[in-house]
Amino acid sequence: MAALIDSLGNLDHAVRRKFKKVFAQLGDDYIVRTPAQPNIQVADLLIEGPNRHWLLLGLHSSEHSSHHLNKYRSLSLVLKRAHNTFLRYLAISEPADLVLDVQDKTLPHLLVVEFDDFLARGAALIQHHCHGLTDNTHKWLKKHIFPETNINAEFSTRRDTIERNNGAQLQEFFLDYDQEKATKLDIIGEDSTNKHQETQLHSVRLINGVAGCGKTLILINRAILYCKHFPKRKVLLLIHNKPITRDIEYKFRHHLGGIPANLTIKTFHAFALSQKNRVSARVKPLFGEKTLLPFKQQILGNHNSLRNKLNLSDAKLWSEIEYINEHLIENSQHYLSIERQGRGFSLKKTQRQAVWKLYEQAMKLMADRDGYLPSLYIRELCFMDPNDSKLDNFDHILLDEAQFFYPSWLQLALKSLRTDGQLFMCADPNQGFLKTRMSWKSIGLNVRGRTQMLNYSYRTTYEILRAANALLEELDTDNEDFIKPQLVNMQRGSKPRVIYSDTLQDELKRFLNELKQIVELATFPLHHIMVLCGDDIGN
């Protein structure tokens, strides 16, 4: 059965259903695509067969026989002059509409077939008329007809696939089938069909993938495609940290021709602050430990009688205060009854009552224009009456690393969508808050039947991923969202080494000696080394 990149949404529903029956008769090494960008839509469908074989396919009537054929004529001239080759075009038409000039000398590879004939023997016709291209022509065709699948060489980690030749040309990279399908979900044909068929108010899509599977690439290419396809719609790309945001902005400006006019790229906190400033006077957010320290001393100091009633560390108490905001706990009754899924420590009823009083005290202290706790104003924005909302609204919101988004963050993103908008999330369930046994459903997102899995990593080696996967499985065997990576055909490398020590002190001493030796031998520069450690290590 041929793989369909999209749902053939540009075709009439009845025609679509019949065409799918034809494509089901092809082998699974055939791929059917709809050109996504109207200005280069050379045919209704392009079929890619095995060994770089291609065929153009168009549904024709007397009303629109010339549009695609004019573009096909131009494409044929380029293929002949620049590549010394051709592509066949299979034009499907009802008998009464057979107005195509099959004798046109400028279209020697145009083939006309009646609609019923195509339904009867379409698979055989496709297999017979697909024409093979050289590797360079194949890549040229994909880059120019499906530019949304092209990966800038600066973005790629697929170094092992670079061809060795002396030609003065850059290697071309393309999204694989699963990446391309995810990029185009719900875009092609959306404007001619009912946008969202689910019962919930907004449409939600989730791409679950292992590290290195191309989730950020999908978001970048999808943002570009969506902005071109719907230039009047507002698009927002939200990222959870500054370095990745700056990197994506740099790629847009220096490699992708600039950020589209209808696309906004922000960290979540920059976005939340801008929403807060829209609905009230400008506030100064309390970010960073140094800024928060005076407030923590007031709230958690020994002079505070409420704090002295709680036999909990300052770190646990502060995390509980943030937890109440981040999980949108409405009031004390809600807090007393809520399940503490993934919190790591339990609290008795009397302790929760005391924590809630401490929480109320803290929020009064940190709700000032000159010092506002971010988790608090995010919570307040989520609880705003939609009828009174002055929030900036978007048609399409994309989230990178959504597993790191708290429930309040996700709720604010949903609240910032227009009524018929879509939330498109990329996440790695093997990390982030999903490890705490939370689920998308538990935080109000229905992704059942709306999730695509990506399990092949381009970023690492077989040995590293196999070892990491074994460790993750041992630590979290009950996680139903856990993704097992596909290890077949991965790049090979050295096995990672695990060094065990008897005590923490021995471990630190061994680590420092290893680090010193690496730097002294100039094996790696210091700025190429990352150190990961648990909270119990300290500074």
Mean pLDDT over residues 298-313, rounded?
91
Cα pseudo-dihedral 166, 170, 171, 173, rounded to 10:
180
Q: Considering only residues 334 and 170, tell me which one the structure prediction assigns the higher pLDDT.
A: 334
pLDDT of residue 535: 65
Pairing label, strands 417-427, 203-209: parallel
**70-98: average pLDDT:** 88
Label residues 153-190 b or e (16+ Cβ within 10 Å = b): eebbbbeeeeeeeeeeeeebbbbbebbbbbbbbbbbeb
Going by pLDDT thresholds of 50, 70 and 90, the confidence category of residue 350 is very high
* Alpha-carbon distances, residue 23 vs 61, 126, 193, 473 (angstroms): 21, 9, 22, 39
Q: Is the pLDDT of residue 197 over 50?
A: no
Instruction: From residue 191, give the alpha-carbon distance in Å to each of 72, 199, 360, 420.
Output: 25, 19, 48, 12
More confident residue, 180 or 100: 180
Q: Which amino acid is at 537?
A: I
Among candidate residues 161, 218, 175, 210, the one with its CA nearest the CA of residue 399: 218
- pLDDT tens sequence across 47-76: 999 999 999 999 987 555 677 888 999 999
Direct distance between the N- and C-terminal alpha carbons of the chain, in angstroms, rounded to an integer: 57
**Two structure tokens written together for 130:** 């697909």
- How far is it, in rounded angstroms, from Cα 386 to Cα 409? 16
Tokens (6 digits) for 456: 């092949």
95 band by pLDDT with thresholds 50, 70 and 90: confident
Altogether, the residues listed in the chain come to a count of: 539
Q: 378: helix, coil or strand? A: helix
Question: Which ranges in 146-233 belong to alpha helices (H)?
Answer: 177-184, 215-229
Q: Nearest 10 degrees: CA dihedral of 5, 6, 8, 10?
A: -120
Model pLDDT, residue 194 = 45
Strand partners, 424: 205, 398
Q: Output the pLDDT for position 281.
A: 84
pLDDT band at 313 (very low <50, low <70, confident <90, very high): very high
* 384-394 pLDDT per residue, tens: 988 777 999 99
Residue 354 scores a pLDDT above 50: yes
177-279+386-454 topology per CATH? Rossmann fold (3.40.50)
Query: What pLDDT, on a 0 to 100 scale, did the predictor assign at position 170?
Result: 53
Q: Which residue has the tokens 């696939």?
A: 161
Token representation of residue 277: 């400033």
Separation of alpha carbons 203 and 219, rounded Å:
17
**Tokens in use for 112?**
């006309």
What are 494-529's pLDDT values in tens digits? 999 888 899 989 999 999 998 888 888 877 788 888
- Give residue-wise pLDDT tens across range 457-473: 998 999 999 988 888 77
Please say if the pLDDT value at position 483 is more than 90: no
- Mean pLDDT for 146-164 is 70
Of 420, 397, 396, the C-alpha closest to 409 is: 397
Higher pLDDT, 427 or 484: 427
Confidence of residue 397 (pLDDT cuts 50, 70, 90): very high
Q: Is the pLDDT of residue 196 over 60?
A: no
Residue in this structure with the two tokens 């040995």, named with its chain if needed: 463
Task: State yes or no: pLDDT of 100 exceeds 70.
Answer: no
Average pLDDT of the chain, as a whole number: 88
How far is it, in rounded angstroms, from Cα 213 to Cα 101? 47
Q: How confident is the model at residue 406 (pLDDT cuts 50, 70, 90)?
A: very high
Ranges of each domain in the chain: 3-145, 177-279+386-454, 289-365, 499-539
CA-based nearest residue to 392, from 421, 370, 368, 431: 421
What class, spelled out in words, does domain 3-145 have in CATH? alpha beta
Of 289, 193, 261, give the one whose Cα is nearest residue 539: 289
Q: Which of 110, 41, 49, 39 is nearest to 76 (CA)?
A: 110
